[in-house]
Amino acid sequence: MVAQKWKWGTLAAVCLAQLVLMLDVTVVIVALPDISRDLGGDLADVQFVVDIYALALAALLLNFGALADRVGRRRVFLAGLAIFGVASVLCAIASSTAVLIGARGVQGAGGAMLFATGLALLGNAYRGGDRAKALGVFGAVFGAAVALGPLVGGLVLEAADWRWIFFINIPVVVAGTWLAFAYVEESLDPDPRAVDIPGQLTFALSIGSLVVALVKGQELGWGSATIVGLFAIAAAALLLFVAIETRRESPMFDLALLADRSFSGAALAAFATSASLFGMFVYLTIWFQRVQGMDALEAGLKLLPVTLLAFIAAALAGRLSGRIPPRPILALALASTATGLLQMTTLGPADSWTVALPGLLLCGLGFGLANPTVASVTLTVAPPERSATAIGMNSTFRQVGVATGVAVLGAVFDSALGGLVARLGDSDAGAAVIQLPPEAQAAFTDALDNVFVTGAGIAAVGALLAALLVNAPPSAGDLPDGPSPSVAEGRDI
């Protein structure tokens, strides 16, 4: 048993891990042109630098949660920090795009170990009002890390080259490891789930095939045998995954939880938030650089309003969780995101970035409100004995949203740009490594508008589903201060 010398030591350790793993979802965005120029590869290739990380997170989360139940959440958390740190070094010294993509996959595996255990460690450490505060801080760090990524990347690229965006992870990993050793208590499940290898393989095959098909569809042709085959594999693997999970006594992905309207609504809200925003960050940042001629730091600074409002809104949502039902908060969050994305369609190639400022602020508000609210609903509606599975499933929806969102919005962008560029007679205008000529800037901006509209549609559907499905369960702030039954049984909540 680790002596709790500092009440918030567990929160600090989990938030540092959350900071570094979520920062690395978006920190590479402003560096994609530099990576492509240095290592080779077109926009579709460097897209995988973002996608493979999110894919590894999504595919491995649930099994790492089961492993943590069996061998100890603190132990898996520490292993995740070690793997993440080593993989960050491998990313930094990568000699080719293929090596970087492979190292990012390993980094995503370490991140999955951190994601699978973070909320469970908080649930084990805090009760009642302290839990509400911890979730508010956790959500604020989540939002800030995602939105700060482009700014941090820009600052690093201003002072050094792109490899340092991975080297800077090391001191954070070291600090998180020290805090985990010093303050985090170990917890086990006396009746742990078995690791689900068949479910793991079919789930990864389904999501991986889908993302590859979306990323490569424009290049190979949407009707080509390869792309049609990949979509067929994705569908067949998903059906097989559902069949496997339905028949398992202790499933990795507990489909019965989806019967709870609030749980399903929160999961779909998490998916819609990630899917609508992450791809937008990628292409808006490249637009700043390739249409308006900004350097990486300038591009990152233009997303600072999203960061600031997301941080404030997340802290506010954590405080409001005991006073306002989650349904209106989630519906407002996604409606705000949809409205913000639509507002940004007014941005023209010669306009100042401030034309898009209202939309960026609305997106920051939506992102910040959604994350802690989703976490609160997930922790409160799932039965205690299935809380770890519920946390993992929610995080999986979030990360699948990142991966498919980047891929879907990328496919929309590539399809629109391909036709427009063909008419301009400039087949290279979509590459990430060149400054666009003036005649291609309008084409690029029109393609970006399609990204905004598609993202807004995803967010709007998410808002509708949240309004229809999410009920009003007791919030984390309403839970009793004493140990819960699940803790008495040795489980986390």
Cβ–Cβ < 8 Å for 455, 276: yes
Q: Determine the 3-state secondary structure of 292 from DSSP.
A: coil
Cβ–Cβ < 8 Å for 306, 360: yes
* Dihedral angle of Cα 411, 416, 422, 426, to the nearest 10 degrees: -80
Give the C-alpha separation, 186 to 228, whole Å. 47
Q: Which of 92, 116, 130 is nearest to 10 (CA)?
A: 130
User: What is the reported pLDDT for 163?
Assistant: 93
Give the C-alpha separation, 379 to 368, whole Å. 18
pTM as predicted = 0.78
What is the architecture of the domain spanning 9-186+248-478? Up-down Bundle (1.20)
pLDDT in tens, the chain (493 residues): 444 477 888 899 999 998 888 888 778 877 887 888 888 766 667 778 887 888 888 778 877 877 887 888 899 999 999 999 999 999 999 998 889 999 999 999 999 899 888 877 887 788 777 877 787 787 677 766 766 777 788 888 888 889 999 999 999 999 999 999 988 888 777 666 677 888 888 988 998 898 888 878 877 888 899 999 999 999 999 999 999 988 887 777 888 888 888 899 999 999 999 899 887 887 888 888 878 888 778 887 888 888 788 878 877 776 776 677 888 899 999 999 999 999 999 988 888 888 999 999 999 899 888 888 887 888 777 776 666 677 778 878 888 888 888 888 888 887 877 644 434 333 343 444 455 677 778 888 888 999 999 999 999 999 999 999 988 544 433 333 333 333 223 333 3
Q: What is the 3-state secondary structure (H, E, C) of 75-109?
A: HHHHHHHHHHHHHHHHHHCCCCHHHHHHHHHHHHH
Rg (C-alpha) for the chain, rounded Å, is 21
The torsion angles phi and psi of 423, rounded to 5 degrees, stand at -70, -30
Residue spans of the domains in the chain: they are: 9-186+248-478, 197-247
Q: Which residues contact 258 (CB under 8 A, 6 or more apart)?
A: 264, 267
Cβ–Cβ < 8 Å for 157, 297: yes
Alpha helices in 160-295 (DSSP H): 164-167, 169-183, 197-220, 225-247, 261-290
Structural tokens at position 89: 């070094």
Number of other CB atoms surrounding residue 87 within 10 Å = 25
User: What is the reported pLDDT for 80?
Assistant: 95
Q: What is the DSSP letter of 257?
A: G
